[in-house]
Structure 1
Amino acid sequence: MDKVTAVPALADGRRPRADRARQVADLLRGEITHGRFGGGRLPLEAALAREFGTSRNTVRDALDLLRDEGLIERCPGVGTTVSGERYPHGLHRLLGLAEVLHEHGEVTNEVRAMSLIEPPPAVSGRLGLAAGESVVYVERLRRLNGLPLSLDLTYLVRDVGEPLFDADLEHNDIFVLLERIAGQQLGLAELSLEAVNADAHTAAVLGAPRGAALLMIERLAHLADGRPVDLEFIRFRGDRLTMRGHLRRSLNDSMEKTWP
């Protein structure tokens, strides 16, 4: 039997260079967000080409992709450097933004709107409210170390939402305040995550280019007793946040509760 020589996937000349560049970009993006390049400077193109078993042209194309995402900068005579930190946001626990990012700096909240409203049926239905029952609506621009990070639109059931009119929303997560008001912890949350493009108004508020990629989260939080109390629509700047979590596959998966 003839000996078969393994060919590194990245060096497979039969694949389009754009495919190989995308593959290198994915691997480099992960290493950047996990802090491999602590000094902020990436290795030279030749070193990266050796590491990934591909050509310098492929590496150059991969770096161009990351530059277009705003993750790196490429300057003649200086090299390739990380242009902005992406902060990790865990998906395995129900936490407020300040709780998630406390190791990375100070989260502050600018309350752009807050009022008692009669919500649309779509909101009433998710919160389990009767038609015509009011909710508290809160809109916040959230910053980390002064940099815009997310725009949050929140609908709260009235009995736990109204006390927030007298609370310090600038320096506190709503989750923490809700637990104090309700006298019990939050329990589970139903969550969906998708990518959306920033409209002109949202882009201006977040200080992002129009059409920039945003991470959009819809989250319905329940108290420990199962009652839904907080429906949020959160738009995160995609260039400043990385979603991370731990997923476990078990034999009991088919028996676990799934949410629509």
Structure 2
Amino acid sequence: MTRRDGAAEALTLSDGRRLRADRARQVADVLRRQVLYGEFRAGPLPSEADLVIEFGTSRNTVREALDLLRAEGLIERCPGVGTVVVTEKYPHGLERLLGLAETLREHGEVANEVRTTGLITPPREISARLALPEGEPVVYIERLRRLNGLPLSLDLTYVARDLGEPLLEEDLAHNDIFVLLERIAAQPLGLGELTVEAVNADPHSAATLEAPRGAALLMVERLTHLADGRPVDLEFIRFRGDRITMSGTLRRD
């Protein structure tokens, strides 16, 4: 075999591995969606042989796809049982302005662990977002949110003082802040400005959420306005990335 023939063979093998890896990612994308939407909640995933037939691909490709989902912590192999879902993700819609308990009510019980509350002087940026004079105190609330007993999110909330102080007199462990704000303000909430980004868990977030330090989190920054347009509630919500998925419907005008 000439050097040129050897190089061509190596290139062919490399192309084959790349194509298989691409196909494995495609299979993993389909299976991931099925896992996230609870299609395998009642039992194990189909066998490798069944997946080969379903996707019209090779067993090695199916195994690579399952390895990708296993590395994400979504599935695991149980001897005598098969491949099962180990982490259920919960869907969080982005179409409506709802509190977490309102959004996830159908998926189980949301419990609030109130960790810190009080009146603070916020950073300048927080004041600006809430349209408050620099140095004006705001109410700060830190909560750990659990769904079905498992840590789901760490919520850091800043509320304008006139609404926040009455809020502190309420039962924050068993009530949604949005519902309480509407009652205190005597008007409905109007709109929320939302930013979502991926961040790594800092030591405090990791310890609170019982996640590895540096684990992937979804951070939602949400500024909520009353119906009259006044901004009153600024939240920084860190979700465990392995327990939440966000989706919405987009229309092109």
Fold in common (TM above 0.5): yes
Equivalent residue number for residue 255 of structure 1: none
Determine whether 1:50 maps to 2:53.
yes
Shift of 1:14: 7.8
| Count of residues in correspondence between the two structures | 239
How many Å separate the matches in 1 of 2:174 and 2:160? 21
SS of 1:179's equivalent in the other structure is helix
Deviation track 1:106-147 (CA, whole Å, cap 9, x = no partner) reads 111111111101111110111111111111011000111211
The match for 2:22 among 19, 24, 27 is 19
Q: SS in structure 1 opposite 2:191?
A: strand
* Aligned twin of 2:33: 30
Relative to the length of structure 1, the TM-score reads 0.88
Contact 2:201 2:216 in 1 (8 A): yes
Q: Secondary structure at the match of 1:66?
A: helix
Q: In structure 1, what is the Cα distance between the partners aligned to 2:202 and 2:119? A: 26
Q: Percent identity?
A: 75
1:83 is displaced (CA, Å) by 0.8
- Deviation at 1:166? 0.8
Corresponding residue to 1:111 among 108, 111, 114: 114
The amino acid of 1:180's aligned partner reads R
Give 2:82's aligned residue.
79
Please say if 1:222 is aligned against 2:189: no
Q: Does residue 150 in structure 1 map to residue 166 in structure 2?
A: no
SS at match of 1:62: helix
Q: Distance in 1 between matches of 2:203 and 2:81?
A: 34
Distance 1:168 1:106 in 2: 16
1:244 aligns with 2:247: yes
**Counterparts of 2:113 and 2:219, CA distance in 1:** 19
TM-score by length of 2: 0.91
Q: CA deviation at 1:21?
A: 1.5
Per the alignment, in what secondary structure is the counterpart of residue 210 of structure 1?
coil
Larger helix proportion of the pair: 2
Q: Which residue of 2 aligns with 1:198?
A: 201
- SS for the counterpart of 1:101 is helix
Opposite residue 115 of structure 1, the aligned amino acid is: G
Q: Secondary structure at the match of 2:102?
A: helix
What secondary structure does 1:195 align onto? Answer: strand
What does residue 10 of structure 2 align with? none
- The RMSD of aligned alpha carbons is 1.4
Separation (CA, whole Å) in 1 of partners of 2:214 and 2:68: 17
Matched, 1:61 2:64: yes
Q: Distance in 2 between matches of 1:214 and 1:178?
A: 27
* Cα displacement string for residues 153-193 of structure 1 (whole angstroms, at most 9, x for unaligned residues): 01100111110111000011111100000001111111011
Counterparts of 1:178-189 in structure 2, within 5 Å, are 178-189=181-192
- 1:203-230, CA deviations, whole angstroms, 9 ceiling, x for partnerless residues? 1110112221111100000001110000
Is 1:208 the counterpart of 2:221? The answer is no
Q: What is the CA-CA distance between 1:37 and the residue it aligns to?
A: 1.9
1:70 aligns with 2:54: no
Determine the C-alpha separation between the residues in 2 that align with 1:89 and 1:65.
23
1:58 positional shift:
1.1
Q: What is the aligned counterpart of 2:175 among 169, 172, 193?
A: 172
- Extract unaligned runs of 5+ from structure 1: 1-11, 251-260
Distance 1:40 1:197, change over 3 A: farther
2:164 is aligned with what amino acid?
Answer: G
2:131: which partner in 1? 128
- Equivalent in the alignment of 1:97: 100
One-letter code aligned to 1:190: E
Amino acid corresponding to residue 147 of structure 1 in structure 2: L
The C-alpha deviation readout for 1:53-104, integer Å capped at 9, x for no partner, is 2211111111111111111111233210011211111100000011011111
Task: Give the aligned partner of residue 8 of structure 1.
Answer: none
- The CA distance in 1 between the partners of 2:115 and 2:195, in whole Å, is 24
SS in 1 for 2:111: strand
Structure 2's unaligned 5+ residue stretches are 1-14
